Chain A
Amino acid sequence: MYNFNYHCPSSLQEAESLYAKSEDPMFLAGGHTLLPTMKQRLNAPTDLIDLAGLTELAGISREGDVLQIGAYTRHADVAASELVQAAIPALAKLARGIGDTQVRNRGTIGGSVANNDPAADYPAALLGLGATVVTTKRAVPADEFFVDMFETVLEEGEIITAVTFPVKGDAEYIKFANPASRYATVGVFINRHNDGVRVAITGAASSVFRCSEYEAALSSSFAESALNGITLRTDNFNEDLHASVDYRAHLCAVIAKRVIASMV
C-alpha cells in the first residue's frame, strides 16, 4: 500500500467537496474490494474518503411497495433485516450468500454495486428486481446503471446513497459458486410479478445482464420446460480456469430451472 490521506467526512456535502479538492481521490466503503487492490499496489489513491460517517447512507426502510437500502448497509445487515426478509426474502438470502462472515460484516451494497464485479451477487438482484440506484446526482434505473465489466454510469465524484427496490411479485436467487472464490460462476435472479418476468444473470458474462430469451419464454409459461431448447448468445461470456463458456451457458439453464422449480 502507498501512503494516502485519510478523510472521514460527516456529511455528503463534505464528502463531495473533499473529493473535488483532492488530487486522485477514492471513496471507501467496506474496503473489501478496494483495500486488497491497494495492498497489492494496483490502486493508489492520494486520498481515501471514508463513507462510514455519513448518516445519509445508512438504514433500511420500507414505504409502501418500495424497499430502500442505504448504500452503506453491510451485507450482514441486509441478510438479518426483518424488513428485507418480509419484503423480498430472496434479497436477504442473496446477501447471506456473499463471501464469508468477515466479508459480510464489512462489505456494503453501495460498494458492491459501484464496483460491478462481473461475478458479484447484488447486481443480479438490482437488475432482476428492476431496482433504482439513487446517487448524489440522480436516480438511475438498474437497467441503465451497469455498463460492462467493473464499469457503471457513475461519474467522477458521484456517490451512491441508496438502492430502492420495488416490492412486487415473488423472487428467488440461486448462485452456482466458484469453488475457490465462492463468487458467482453463474447466479440467476428471477422476479415474477403481474407485469411479467425479469431474469438477471451474473457471473456468466462480462457484466450482469437481463436474459431476454428466458424472460420471453417464462412470460408465456412459467415452467422449467419453457427453457428447453433455448440457446443463449455467448459472445461476451467469461472463460476461466473454473468454467468454460459452454459450461457457463449450460449452468445458466440448469440454475435458472432450479430457481423456477423453487418458485412454482
Chain B
Amino acid sequence: MVAKNIGEPVLRKEDARFITGKGNYTDDINLRGQAHAFFVRAPVARAMITSLDCSAAEAADGVVAVLTGAQVAEDGLGSLPCGWMVLSKDGSEMKQPPHPPLAADRINYSGEPFAVVIADTLQQARDAAELVEVEFDELDAVVSVADAQSGPQIHPEVPDNTNYDWELGERDETLKAIENAHHVTRLSLVNNRLIPNAIEPRAAIGDYNSGTDEITLYTTSQNPHLARLVLTAFVQLAPEHKLRIIAPDVGGGFGSKIFIYSEETVVAWAARKLDLPIKWTADRSESFLTDAHGRDHVSEAELAMDENGNFLALRVKTLANMGAYLSTFASAVPTYLYGTLLAGQYKTPNVYVEVQAVMTNTAPVDAYRGAGRPEATYLLERIVEIAAQEMNMDPAELRRKNFIQPEDFPYQTPVALEYDIGDYEASLDKALAMADYAGFSARREASVAEGKLRGIGFSCYIEACGLAPSQVAGSLGAGVGLWESGEVRVNPTGSVTVMTGSHSHGQGHETTFAQLVASQLGISIDDVEVIHGDTGKMDFGMGTYGSRSLSVGGSALMKAADKIVAKGKKIAGHLMDAKSEDIDFDDGEFKVRESNLSKTFQEIAFAAYVPHDYPLEELEPGLTEKAFYDPANFTYPAGTHICEVEIDPDTGVTSVVKFTAVDDFGTIINPMIVEGQVHGGIAQGIGQAMLEHGIYDETGQLQTGSFMDYCMPRADDLPNFDVGMTTTVCTHNPVGAKGCGEAGAIGSPPAVINAITNALGVREIDMPATPLNVWQTLQNATHEDARGE
C-alpha cells in the first residue's frame, strides 16, 4: 500500500546543492599528488599503426609515463566486453571483436585512443602528447550503415562487418498475411545518429593504495557496481573486493555513462602501475568523438491491413550501426529493446522483425535515452501515420481502432512481451481534448491565411521499462541479473539513511526515494537521506537506465521499509505488552489495536539501539533492513503525444507551436519531477526530429564535432509543453510505478515528423527536419507536382 506524501510535488532536496555550486562531481575531486592523463587519439578512422615512438614525449617536462596499447596487452588487461549475447537466425553466437582499452596496432575510428601521457599537469601532458611520433598506414574507412556489409572488413572476427542477423516473430505467417492483405503500406526510413552531450563530460580519477592493494576509481558512471563487475571479472583489472568505484554527483548521462570506456579503465590501471592518483576529464571535443553515440538505423517496413484498416501484419528489416566496437549494451539495443516493441499499442496479430547489426569505422553506438524503443516507436508510428493517409482514414481513429483494449490484458504480443495493463484509448482521448484536435482545421486555415503551413501529428507509444526480470533477461543473453538492491538504515534517533543500487544523475532520486521511504515509515522526508553511487557503501546494485530506478530500485526500498515496520511491530509489541499481530502501524505510530497505547517510530528506533527493555532472546537489536527486488515482468509506460507545427514555406523554418503529451506511468511519487522528466525527454525528442544529427564524412571524420555544427535543442526552439497523465497502476511491483525517464524521447519524434509531413502534404521527410531539409522537401514536392501535371 502506498501512503501519504506520495503524489506530492515536493521540491527537490538535491537542488540546493546543485544550484549553489556545492555539487561534488568527479572533476571537483582532487587527490593529493595527483597526475593528469591526456589521451593520444587517432586522427584517422581506419589505419594500421606502423610505428610508434614515445621517447621524446617521455623525456618532456613533467611527464611521468607514456603508456601504450602494447603495455596494456603486456599487463594482461582484457578486452572491454559487450554484456549481451545475441544469437543469429542460424543459432550462431554474435561476432564480437576484441576491444582493447588502448589500440595496439589497428585504429578503427577517429578519436580512438592509442596512448596516454601522464604528467604532473594537464598542460604538460598535452604538450608531450604532441611529441608522440606515430605513423599510420591509412585504410579505406567504412562509414555508412547502408554500405557496411559490402565494405572492407574491419575486424578479422566479424565477416561482412556483420555481428549478427537476428529475427523475432513468425516469419511465414507474417509474409502470408502481407501477401493476402487488402492494402500494404511500405516505408523505408532512417533513424538519425545522435550524440548524447550530457552537460558534464566523462571523467575519471584512479587512486591506488599500495598499503591495502586497493584501487579506488572515481568516475562518471550510471552504474558503479556494474562497472566494477566488468572491470574485475572481464577486464581483470583487480579482484572485485580490491576495486572500489565511486560515482559521485553525475551531471547527466542519458545512457552514455552506462558503458565501460577505455579512459576509466586506463586511468585505474595506470594509477596502480605508477602508484599515483591519475585524473582525466574529457573536453567537449573528446565527448563528441568518443561518448557512445545513439540510434543510427536504416529500416524497411511493411504494414498490412484489411479493407477496414485493421492491422494484419507488420514486417520490419533493420540495419543497425554498432560503430567500431561492440559497446557494453550495444547488441541488446536494436534487438531486445527494439524488436520486442514493434507491436506497439496495437493488436497486430503477426509481427516479424529481422535485424542485422553492422560495424563501421565510427564511434561505438549504444543505448541513448530510450534505447531501441524510440527507434521502434518512430518506425511504427510513422508507418501507421502513412497507412492512415493511404487508407484515407483519420490517423487518430485508425490507431484507436487497432488498440489493445483494457479487457485484453494481460496481453501477449507476437514479439515476446506480455503487457500487464494499460488504457490506450484513455490517453488518446485526453490528448485529443488537450490538443484541441477538433479546432485544428480552424487553426490551419488561420495559418494558411498568413502564408504558413500547419500540421498535426500523432504518436501512440509504448515502451518496456523497469529492466528487467532476471530470468527473462538471462534467457535473452544478458550477462547479468537485473534486480535492484535497497537498504533502509534507521538511526537511533529515528532518522533514516537509505542506500540504493540505483544511481541518480539528474533524476531526483534523493527526493523521490525519500518521499517513498518517508511515507512508508510515516516520517518527514527531511529525516531521510538517500545515498547512492559508491560500491564501498552499498550492496551490489545494477544502476540506473531503462527507466528502472523507481519501479525496480524503489520496489526494493519498499520491501526493505516493510521489513523495518514488521520488526518495529515486534519491538512495539514487547514494549506495550501486546502481540505483534495486534499492532497497527499508521502515520509513524505503532498502536495497539483497540487501545490507546502507542509508540512513535522514533521511540521504537531508540529502543532497538538501546535495548534495555527488549526481547533480546528472540530479536536482534538494531533496525536496519535490506531487500533485493527482482521484477516479475517489464513495466509498460504508454501514452499519446500530439505535435502541432507551423512551417514558413519561404525559409523551411518549422515552429513547434503546441505539444501535448499524455502519459500513463502508473503510480506517481512526485508529479513535478515526473513532469520535468517528460519535458527533458520531449526536448531531446524534438532535438532528434528537428535539430540533431551526428554526421561523418566519407573518410570517417566527424563533421558535427562541436556545438557550432551539432545543434542541441535550446529553450527558444521549444514551446510550452502540455503534459497530462492517465493512470493504470502497474500490476506487479509494490510501488505500482512504470517509469518515466525515457517516455518523452520515445514518444515525441514521430509526432513531430508526422506533424511536419502533414503540414507539407508529403509522405516522407527524414530526421532531422532542419530548415534546409524542409525547404528542400518542399522544392522537390513542388517540382514533382509540376512534373505530374
Contacts and interface: CB of A to CB of B under 8 A. Distances in A.
Interface in B710-742: 710-712, 717
Contacts of B126: 41
Interface in B757-785: 770-772, 775-776
A242 interface: yes
B412 interface: no
B696 to A, nearest CB: 12
Contacts of A180: 691, 707-712
B333 to A, nearest CB: 26
Contact of A176 (B127, B651, B695, B770): B651
A181 B775 contact: no
Contact of B707 (A176, A181, A241, A250): A181
B651 A254 contact: yes
Contacts of A176: 651
Interface in B629-669: 650-652
Contacts, number: 41
A40, A244, A251, most chain B CB atoms within 10 A: A251
Contacts of B770: 179, 242
Interface in A157-213: 176, 179-181
Contacts of B285: 40
A254 B652 CA distance: 11
Interface string A236-247: 000011111001
Contacts of B695: 241
A176 B447 CA distance: 21
A202 to B, nearest CB: 16
Contacts of A181: 707-709
Query: Interface residues of A toward B: which range?
Result: 10 to 19
B56 to A, nearest CB: 17
B30 interface: no
B120 to A, nearest CB: 15
B308 interface: no
B651 A243 contact: no
B681 to A, nearest CB: 21
B650 A254 contact: yes
Nearest to B690: A179
A241 B651 CA distance: 16
A241 B708 CA distance: 11
Contact of B775 (A2, A240, A241, A247): A247
A56 B703 CA distance: 42
A3, A241, A242, most chain B CB atoms within 10 A: A241
Nearest to B713: A179
A176, A179, A250, A251, most chain B CB atoms within 10 A: A179
B126, B127, B691, B772, most chain A CB atoms within 10 A: B772
Interface of A: 1-3, 40-41, 176, 179-181, 240-244, 247, 250-251, 254
Given A247-B775, A254-B651, 5 more contacts: A1-B123, A179-B691, A179-B717, A244-B776, A247-B776
Interface of B: 123, 126-127, 285, 650-652, 691, 693, 695, 703-704, 707-712, 717, 770-772, 775-776
10 contacts: A41-B126, A179-B717, A180-B712, A181-B709, A240-B709, A242-B772, A247-B652, A247-B776, A250-B775, A254-B651
6 smallest A-B Cβ distances: which pairs?
Answer: A180-B711, A181-B708, A254-B650, A179-B711, A180-B709, A247-B772
